[in-house]
Amino acid sequence: MKVPLLDLTAQYAAIREELDEAVARVVRSQRFVLGPVVEACEEAFARYVGARHGIGVSSGTDALLLALMAEGIGPGDEVVTTPFSFFATAGVIARVGATPVFADVDPVTLNIDPARVAERITERTRAIIPVHLFGQMAEVAPIMEIAREHGITVIEDAAQAIGARHEDRRAGSVGDYGCFSFFPTKNLGGWGDGGLVVTSDAGRAERLRALRVHGEATRYHHRLVGGNFRLDALQAAVLLAKLPHLDGWTAARIANAALYTRLLGPAADRCGDRLQLPRVVTGHHVFNQYVIRVADRDRVRSELDAAGVGTAIYYPIPLHLQECFADLGYGPGDLPVSECATGRVLALPVFPELTEAQIRYVAQAISAGVGPGSPPATAATPASLPG
């Protein structure tokens, strides 16, 4: 059996006519840049997330970059974020000339720890970027409290968490900005790159809209220096057509995750902290990734590979130890929870169209492969083990 990490062909086959027709309508109209389809897409997503305004942009990375630009954040400013995320989260901070300040993550969720954030606030701090990693919301309420107390902006990196909820707020609707990516591997993927920023503040929405077209206030009048950060109409058409299916796909991801957790539970109990399963702590987790932690990760990964199971490592190097951030002065041991996680995390296939047989096959391969000797010969409770 082969189980790829992600296979988008089944999703396409299921709704092919809708998608092809949506794209064909844009082609027939020959309106490729902004216009009514992009506007409809922005409105639909803002409504879905629970924010007043949506601004379609060129990627998730550019969504984050534009939020920082709209706040006028630059040299001399500090932005607190997590060291355990995709590179873009910190890259954008450096790109506007500000300084990324890393606060370690919670050992259970691997999301930024509000207590560590509080320790990093200085009078130069202008923003906090929590990431809703793998599809589970970070603890944004305490982060909002810290931010309000110090007059700091909160930019949610919700690239992996569209539709995730905590206490009746959806990811992206709690902070001052919510940033989304439509990269094909996200829960809602376009046919290429795309992104969206949501905000409920009219002034911020206006700045974002201006910044994505070179800072134009009215045609050829530039109040700000922006760039070309537009969402393509073709992408908007695909995304609009896919949106009504999102909750169904998310439900399938959640069911797949629950089955893994049920099947892997006995092995996890047997292995203690040598095998850890994802834990749902903050509300409704949308499982963009199902990430286990294994002590002997690289061996388990190559065994899965030999068994035809695709996996990935999100993320092998914490951001504070990336070469390009060497001059920030961090060293090994500075953010131990993130550093430990990078050596153990392993993402399993969890996409909606997986079959139960495929999930059972993956779980079987992991249960057989974890720990030295499988099951461990030194198990303290052999009576409870089969055989």
Ligand X SMILES: *Cc1c(COP(=O)(O)O)cnc(C)c1O
Which CB, 61 or 367, lies closer to ligand X? 61
Among 49, 101, 121, 131, contact with ligand X (rule: CB under 6 A):
131
Number of amino acids touching ligand X (CB under 6 A): 15
CA gap 275, 368 in Å, rounded: 12
**Footprint (CB under 6 A) of ligand X, residues 185-214:** 193, 195
Burial class (CB in 10 A: 0-12, 13-18, 19+), 126: buried
How near is the Cβ of 379 to ligand X at its closest, in Å? 38
Which CB, 196 or 205, lies closer to ligand X? 196
Give the CB-side neighbour count of residue 20, counting CA atoms within 13 A.
6
Which CB, 234 or 275, lies closer to ligand X? 234
Instruction: Report if residue 181 touches ligand X, rule: CB under 6 A.
Output: yes
Among 89, 111, 136, 187, contact with ligand X (rule: CB under 6 A):
89
Contact, 155 vs 179, CB < 8 A?
yes
Who's near 66: CB < 8 A, 6+ residues apart? 55, 57, 197, 208, 211, 212, 226, 229
Among 11, 82, 85, 282, contact with ligand X (rule: CB under 6 A):
85
Which CB, 114 or 195, lies closer to ligand X? 195
How near is the Cβ of 59 to ligand X at its closest, in Å? 4
Q: By CB under 6 A, which span of 154-162, 201-209, 262-270, 322-330 interacts with ligand X? A: 154-162
Closest CA to 322 of 83, 60, 81: 83
Among 45, 102, 177, 183, contact with ligand X (rule: CB under 6 A):
183
Among 55, 88, 112, 188, contact with ligand X (rule: CB under 6 A):
88
Q: By CB under 6 A, which span of 80-88, 114-122, 261-269, 278-286 interacts with ligand X? A: 80-88
Q: By CB under 6 A, which span of 34-42, 59-67, 166-174, 211-219 interacts with ligand X? A: 59-67
How near is the Cβ of 136 to ligand X at its closest, in Å? 12
Who's near 175: CB < 8 A, 6+ residues apart? 130, 140, 144, 153, 154, 155, 156
Q: By CB under 6 A, which span of 69-77, 156-164, 205-213, 364-372 interacts with ligand X? A: 156-164
Q: By CB under 6 A, which span of 53-61, 197-205, 227-235, 316-324 interacts with ligand X? A: 53-61
Instruction: Using DSSP bridges, classify how beta strands 177-181 and 153-157 pair: parallel, antiparallel or unpaired.
Output: parallel
How near is the Cβ of 177 to ligand X at its closest, in Å? 13
Q: Which parts of this chain interact with ligand X (CB under 6 A)?
A: 59-61, 85-86, 88-89, 131, 157, 159-160, 181, 183, 193, 195
